[in-house]
Amino acid sequence: MIVHNLDTSNSVLNHFISEIRDVKVQKDSMRFRRNIERIGEILSYEMSRELKFHTNKVETPLGLKNVPCVSDELVLCSVLRAGLPLHQGVLNYFDQIENAFISAYRQHTTAEDFEIKVEYLASPSLDGKTLILVDPMLATGSSLVAVQKALKKMGEVKQIHLISVIAAQEGIDYVSEHFPENSHLWVATVDPELNSKGYIVPGLGDAGDLAFGNKL
């Protein structure tokens, strides 16, 4: 897997990351969602550099101009529910994209042990298309691997791009073992470790709860 970590250089992206981590700013759920959306837009722009393009002849009021446009057939799939603000950020830049949604959650057997449950999937055909799979927190990587397995019944994809806001190195390593070698991971920042419950440290907490409120 090819990893693109945008945290290696200074940009306005770092400001948005700072705010989603800050416990004081996190209290504003609308701002948290908007910052995730902004990060999704930035990651989408960077990802677009790796897509296939064709020349489109555009007629302006004063003449003709050849413009490179994306030629890949794209399908955007988000992991519910935490992936929704990130999904919107990608959708803002690829407004003609097809959309898919899938649920994946941790079912705990003990306080520290869990398995990933996938119960809902709505997706177009993926045959020959480029899949953009978004999940804001790449912790253990188990959710993304389970999601990829569930999506295989929708067709054979041509290319996979993963988009995450914060990833743990352990999760990156795990996903790299299970996804095709030519897959790309676009991540805003990478944290060094997971705690005993499989949460990213320092991370930011539960992205779904911060965006949409606590769940039972």
**Which has the closest alpha carbon to 158: 180, 178, 187, 186?**
180
Whether 151 is in a domain gets the answer yes
- Read off the pLDDT band of 107 (50, 70, 90): low
Whether 172 is in a domain gets the answer yes
Q: Is 116 helix (H, G, I), strand (E, B) or coil?
A: strand
Whether 74 is in a domain gets the answer yes
Whether pTM > 0.75 for this model: the answer is: yes
**Dihedral angle, C-alpha 111, 215, 168, 13, nearest 10 °:** -160
Whether 26 is in a domain gets the answer yes
Whether 167 is in a domain gets the answer yes
19/16 Cα distance (integer angstroms): 5
pLDDT at 165 over 80: yes
Q: Which residues have CB under 8 Å from 207's CB, separation 6+? A: 36, 82, 136, 137, 165
- Read off the pLDDT band of 111 (50, 70, 90): low
Each residue of 176-206: pLDDT tens digit? Answer: 999 999 999 999 999 999 998 888 999 999 9
The tally of domains found in the chain comes to 1
If you average pLDDT over every residue of the chain, what do you get? 93
CATH number of the domain where residue 20 is located: 3.40.50.2020
Residue 67's CB is within 10 A of a number of other CB atoms, namely 10
Each residue of 39-63: pLDDT tens digit? Answer: 999 999 999 999 999 999 999 999 9
| Structural domain that includes position 76 | 2-54+66-204
Whether 199 is in a domain gets the answer yes
Whether 213 is in a domain gets the answer no
